[in-house]
Amino acid sequence: MHHLDQCRALFPALNYQHNGQSAIFLDGPGGSQVSLGVLNAMQEYLGRFNANLGGAYFSSKETEKVMHQARLAAKDLYNASSEQEIIFGANATSINFHMSRAIAREWQAGDEIIVTNLDHYSNVSPWVLLAEEKGVLVHYVQVNETDCTLDLAHLESLLNSKTRLVAFTCASNVTGSIVPLNEVMTLIKTHTNAITYLDAVHYAPHHAIDVQALDCDFLVSSAYKYFGPHLGVLYAKASTLSQLTPYKVAPAKNIDPNRWETGTQNYEAMAGYLACIDYLASLGEQSLGKQGGDRRARLLSAFEQIRKHEEALSQTLIQELTKIPSLTLYGIESLDRLSARTPTIAFRIKGIEPRAVSEFFGEQAICLWDGNFYAQGLYDQLGITDKGGVVRVGCLHYNTQEEVLIFCQKLQALVG
């Protein structure tokens, strides 16, 4: 049983000293650290059971078990109705490109698709490239520039009977803006019969996901954003998936979900993924009492604790950063709207390049990002594409108020 205030001891990286300085990881939106349980599971698998599927011997059978257990873990994380709706791949971007070819097979000239300016381009470019090939019209949903949220009125104006696909993010990997998922799904279903493809890569470390409640067709995440190994995890609704034809190797089995998993999969990552989901579930054990509940119940409890802790971190960050006159914050600043954002903050400082800020902190073993983060539509709309993008600071559940305050004090010293 692990509680948020005790979890840091389980992450070797969080106790790392670089050049005599304690490392502070505020680079969570780019990738998280992993627990000892994940490291041990991957080493155990590779060291004892490294084999491929379908063999008659012990390590091959163990590999099949690892894959099955990993699917069950993803089913619980997403609340899918069956583990057969889980597809693994190298990462979210690779999965999106792979799936887009099958989804776009039936597109015809005159059809329309919708992507957004809030998205990481891994959920834009695969669709746009195929639309260009097929003569399909692409619409880009704009963001509200005052708070970098998705413009739902603009989205609604684009939806019609010709819409074949709506691809959108659950939360911005730059500004932390959370999309009101139920509201967006209702809009789409009211006006179209389109396939819905949700990017939960930035959303997944911060909030519980329920694909059955959303009734979406596809939802993808990358496990390395939520304390696991580099593994892409796709939910695909069984009824939608069964109507699609994959690009696959001819002798490969023609059954879902396996027919979508090209080549030899990353089984050691699946072993680590199972450990990662069990770690997350362990965070929810205390509040459920001795009965404990099933893994899904423990995950829901864990994400409620994570939400509360991260909103407190967001509040401190925003309160401190908005005291700096030369700082421009992109995204939701209002402290009574913290539930509409993740603890990922994007900003620019007048007269200081974003890269210079991240280098200043890098010298002090404080890890954070600068740049454009593949959110090309957002930067183009905000007019900062050619200006080095933004500085991005992102917290996860293992970050502390002390770390946030150290960062804010050093930033104040840099600005002067």
| CATH of residue 94 | 3.40.640.10
Give the residue carrying structure tokens 């300016």: 117
* 216 and 323 inside one domain: no
* Residue range 17-32: mean pLDDT, rounded: 95
Predicted local distance difference test score (pLDDT) of residue 385: 83
Please state, in angstroms and rounded to a whole number, the distance separating the CA atoms of residues 289 and 211: 27
**Of 247, 277, 307, at which residue does a domain stop?**
277
289 has pLDDT over 70: no
Question: What is the pLDDT of the chain when averaged over all its residues?
Answer: 96
* Residue range 253-263: mean pLDDT, rounded: 93
Per-residue pLDDT tens over the stretch 109-121: 999 999 999 999 9
CATH number of the domain enclosing 346: 3.90.1150.10
Predicted local distance difference test score (pLDDT) of residue 7: 94
Per-residue pLDDT tens over the stretch 125-169: 999 999 999 999 999 999 999 999 999 999 999 999 999 999 999
User: Which residues make Cβ contacts (< 8 Å) with residue 394, sequence separation at least 6?
Assistant: 26, 27, 28, 29, 30, 176, 342, 343, 344, 345, 368, 369
Burial class (CB within 10 angstroms; exposed 0-12, middle 13-18, buried 19+) of 34: buried
* 348 and 264 inside one domain: no
Give the tokens for residue 405: 């305050």
Question: Between vectors from CA 376 to CA 371 and to CA 378, what angle results, nearest 5°?
Answer: 95
Domain for residue 22, yes or no?
A: yes
Give the residue carrying structure tokens 């704009």: 142
Strand pairing report for 390-394 and 163-169: unpaired
* 16 and 71 inside one domain: no
Domain for residue 255, yes or no?
A: yes
Closest among 332, 389, 381, 344 to 147, alpha carbons compared: 332
* 66 and 213 inside one domain: yes
Predicted local distance difference test score (pLDDT) of residue 290: 58
**What are the distances in angstroms from CA 47 to CA 19, 36, 37, 44, 231?**
32, 16, 15, 5, 19
Provide the 3-class DSSP secondary structure of residue 335.
Answer: helix
Number of domains in the chain: 2
Please state, in angstroms and rounded to a whole number, the distance separating the CA atoms of residues 299 and 280: 6
**Of 277, 308, 327, at which residue does a domain stop?**
277
* 325 and 348 inside one domain: yes
pLDDT band at 1 (very low <50, low <70, confident <90, very high): very low
Domain for residue 284, yes or no?
A: no
Predicted local distance difference test score (pLDDT) of residue 291: 63
Q: Which domain holds residue 370?
A: 4-35+295-415
3 has pLDDT over 80: no
Domain for residue 256, yes or no?
A: yes
* 230 and 340 inside one domain: no
**Of 250, 277, 304, at which residue does a domain stop?**
277
pLDDT band at 2 (very low <50, low <70, confident <90, very high): low
* 22 and 44 inside one domain: no
* 104 and 165 inside one domain: yes
User: Which residues make Cβ contacts (< 8 Å) with residue 12, sequence separation at least 6?
Assistant: 33, 36, 39
Closest among 1, 74, 77 to 299, alpha carbons compared: 77
Domain for residue 288, yes or no?
A: no
Counted residue by residue, the chain has a size of: 416
* 300 and 342 inside one domain: yes
* 164 and 192 inside one domain: yes
DSSP string, 53-94: TT-SSHHHHHHHHHHHHHHHHHHHHHT-S-GGGEEEES-HHH
Please state, in angstroms and rounded to a whole number, the distance separating the CA atoms of residues 307 and 138: 35
Domain for residue 79, yes or no?
A: yes
Please state, in angstroms and rounded to a whole number, the distance separating the CA atoms of residues 251 and 258: 12
| Count of CB atoms situated within 10 Å of the CB of 270 | 28
DSSP string, 204-273: TTTS---HHHHT-SEEEEEGGGTTS-S-EEEEE-HHHHTT------TTS---TTGGGS-SS--HHHHHHH
Per-residue pLDDT tens over the stretch 330-364: 999 999 999 999 999 999 999 999 999 999 999 99
277 has pLDDT over 90: yes
Domain for residue 283, yes or no?
A: no
- Please say whether the dihedral angle defined by the alpha carbons of residues 56, 58, 60 and 63, taken in this order, is positive or negative: positive
Share of the chain above pLDDT 90, in %: 94
Domain for residue 28, yes or no?
A: yes
* 127 and 239 inside one domain: yes
* 330 and 406 inside one domain: yes
